Chains A and B, each alone.
Chain A
Amino acid sequence: MALITFTNKGIYCKQGDFYIDPWLPVNLAVTTHGHADHVKWGNKAYLCHELTKPILQHRLGDLNIQTLPYRKEININGVKISLYPAGHVIGSAQIRLEYKGEICVVSGDYKVEYDGISTAFEPVKCHTFVSESTFGLPIYKWQPQQDIFNQIRNWISINRDKNQTTVLIAYSLGKAQRLMSGLTGYGDMYVHSSIANLNEAFLKAGVILPTTIPITPETSKESLQKGIVIVPPALAEGKWIKSLTNAATGICSGWMQVRAGRRWRSADAGFALSDHADWPGLLSAIKATEAEKVFVTHGYSAIFSKYLNEIGIEAEEVKTQYGDEEEEDNVELNKV
């Protein structure tokens, strides 16, 4: 019998009687990472990577959380569980399950390029692999991170020459820390409180992050002018940004790869900096697992699974409730 099934509550392992990233409350939620579309409040117990714990505590409060470092195995009802780096955000993990020699890996969200701040993705051999497909079209091929950071840095200097405040739009969990690490040394970094609070939670857990300045009502617009301002997407159209009279906003997201994506969000600049695997990344990751069966979740799941089948990798599209990362930042904003 299969090691996982897709139920109306989430991905279920019957042998171990636990769920992976469930969207309805269950007894044990094994959690790939801290984005709100992958972890919900209300489960009796959580199992996640040790660096995901501060995120869950920060977001969902005091919970029953058991943690694991990467690659350490535990046993639940006879199913061996271990976590492997997914490279998506800090603490993100692929969940490896093994039962009577049968191996299944649920990867949650992942990217294959090392981003300088999340532990680098590591392929895991398995029989069954569950893959996202957020950018599962061959038009999505990322430039090397270094090139994108160079573009962002150039843009920042152009803005400074024009006396414009640089505002970068980035998810508070993941993208924001990645920008902080990539832009260290290019000016004071001012972050929105939702990002500052998460940073603080990381610092308490012992993660070393670049120094940033939280934006408060007292922060003067002049000091922002010379620095770099990082805010979450939910604020992109908000009053606060509009109150910065001379600001240039840049969105950092894989969707910026396509002109239609850039037009849809009316920003001054778009940088295709993504925490998800691009087309070559998805294909290389899947091939590296040598899986006999691939389940394709959120994204271009129909197209991507059809293509996998055509190139000889058995694949099936499954419906999940993942894929709305923006929801996460709304949660953050409601809290602060």
Chain B
Amino acid sequence: MSNKTNDKMLALVDYFNEADDMDKPYVIAMFTGKRPKRPVNTSLIKQWAIELCNLPEWLFAECYHNVGDLSETIALILPPPASISNRKLHEWINDLALLNNKDEAFKKQFIIKAWDSLETSERFIFNKLISGNFRIGVSSKILVNALAKQSDIESSKIMHSIMGKWLPSEINYSDLINGTHVNTDSSWPYPFCLAYALEAVPSSLGEPWEWQAEWKWDGIRGQIVKRNGELFIWSRGEELVTEQFPELHFLLQELDDGTVLDGEILSVKDGKVQAFSILQQRLNRKTINKNQLNDAPIGFYTYDLLEYQGRDLRDELLSKRRQSLEAVISSLKTKNVAMLSPIVPFNQWDELAKLRESSRDLNSEGIMLKKLGSLYHSGRKRGDWWKWKINPYTVDTVMIYAQKGSGRRANFYTDYTFAVRDGDQLITIAKAYSGLTDKEIKEVNAFVVKNAIEKFGPVRTVKPELVFEIAFEGIAESKRHKAGLALRFPRIARWRKDKKADEINTLDDLRQLLQATLLPPI
């Protein structure tokens, strides 16, 4: 499949135009994570595949490293099928569901027989089905857009329909996308107004008094919709996340029907915004336990009021919408959960620039600038909303492992592991794919070839000599990493040819940074 979003979407439209009607709800279920229970565990599937193709395990591991996907590796490595079956997808899925109560020998026989009746590309899909891991680069957003295009129904309605409660074996395609099982008249959100990054100096924006400054919060942008006695929480990706945030459900009682709020979902404890790493514990979970509710309580910092008493306010000026927003928030009985995103007062741009320097102390990413005379636009529009972010964190590290890329890059070392100093030791803290130019990749590759010390499968340990500055967005505690911490979005900022390996940062430097981010904000 192509990697262009629009092509994927069009391919899905073609599929939904032609596919078997019985299959369609199953496909939607798979792409939206409503997948059946995994009938066989992955290590067994792998073991059976290795047995079938009669190859040593290390060679299978090399193939897997190269392909980067277990289902695909197995699909490619198996002997060709004896014959091709024409079974429908829903038949396969129903059969797989029945496997759950069977013993291992039965499961093995079923799967080996299935492999022997499928082509490589079908095997790949089949393996994805049995391993219960159906992430193949199609977000629910692309799927929803495709369904919207195919059926000519609004995409937010489709999102609501497919996020609702339904079972592929019990609903037909038309009922599903028309949302007969839910009430889509209440849920629809507005398109978010988005900001451009400010590259120029803020004084280029004109007079300070024309602008409203707020902190740029580092959470999940969200829209809260209350209509007809129902509450919906939409994320920026236009996904319904209502169930994930029970702390906000009181708004069902306290907001009037016909109210839509725009804001940021954050973890807020004792009135302070916590680091994104803490909010992360609460994201994409099906169930939430007590500890998580305690450690990472949710708050909603409101930015804007888009609808009030059923009336669309987006054509009003920001200054006016803000007043209405303040009235709505102050009328809430439950305090300190849905709050106003505070305005940062300033008179001079220099003054704001100084305040911006303190963003990190508040767990904010910088400053948002919104023109007081602006409307609430759909999407990104240049000129009215700007994000003025602070620079990312950086750390100087040394490269200690290198690994070859896959596919066409299989001949170059392009995946690197970086370490900082911890006493006499080097300790790994980040892995990054090359953010380097082709010329630099070739140079690093030549270095790795010359300076490889040991081989561990596809990995080479190399002489710790090349220093790289790694940029990252945040830092979190991590039990899974030897260093005890993990960096968020690490990438190579630049190759520090001017630095030697004894000039890199230490683990203590990073620990101090971690502590600083975990302290309650000032």
Contacts and interface: CB of A to CB of B under 8 A. Distances in A.
Interface stretch (A49-57, A112-120, A136-144, A205-213): A136-144
Contacts of A69: none
Given A258-B72, A258-B76, A260-B68, A137 B62 contact: yes
Given A260-B68, A263-B3, A310-B56, A139 B76 contact: yes
Interface residues of B, number: 28
Given A258-B72, A263-B3, A139 B67 contact: yes
B410 interface: yes
A303 B59 CA distance: 7
Contacts of A258: 66-67, 72, 76, 406-407
A67 B410 CA distance: 35
Nearest to A265: B408
Nearest to A267: B2
B290 interface: no
Given A137-B66, A303-B62, A259 B72 contact: yes
Interface string A295-316: 0001110110011001000000
Contacts of B56: 307, 310
A307 B63 CA distance: 13
A260 B4 contact: no
Contact of A260 (B1, B7, B63, B67): B67
B289 interface: no
Nearest to B55: A138
A323 B411 contact: yes
Nearest to B69: A259
A307 B59 CA distance: 8
A121 interface: no
Interface string B66-84: 1111001100110010000
B53 interface: yes
Contacts of A306: 58
B454 to A, nearest CB: 13
Given A139-B77, A303-B62, A260 B53 contact: no
Given A260-B67, A266-B4, A255 B59 contact: no
Interface in A231-267: 253, 255, 257-267
A268 interface: yes
Contacts of B72: 258-259
A266 B1 CA distance: 10
Interface string B243-272: 000000000000000000000000000000
A300 B76 CA distance: 17
B480 interface: no
B311 interface: no
A62 B152 CA distance: 66
Contacts of A303: 59, 62
Interface string B84-101: 000000000000000000
A300 B410 contact: yes
Contact of B63 (A139, A255, A323): A139
B409 interface: yes
Interface of A: 137-141, 253, 255, 257-269, 298-300, 302-303, 306-307, 310, 323-324
Given A268-B4, A269-B2, A298-B411, 20 more contacts: A137-B59, A138-B55, A138-B77, A139-B66, A253-B408, A255-B408, A258-B76, A258-B406, A259-B67, A260-B69, A260-B406, A261-B406, A261-B407, A262-B407, A268-B7, A300-B62, A302-B455, A303-B59, A306-B58, A323-B411
5 contacts: A138-B76, A259-B67, A265-B408, A300-B410, A303-B62
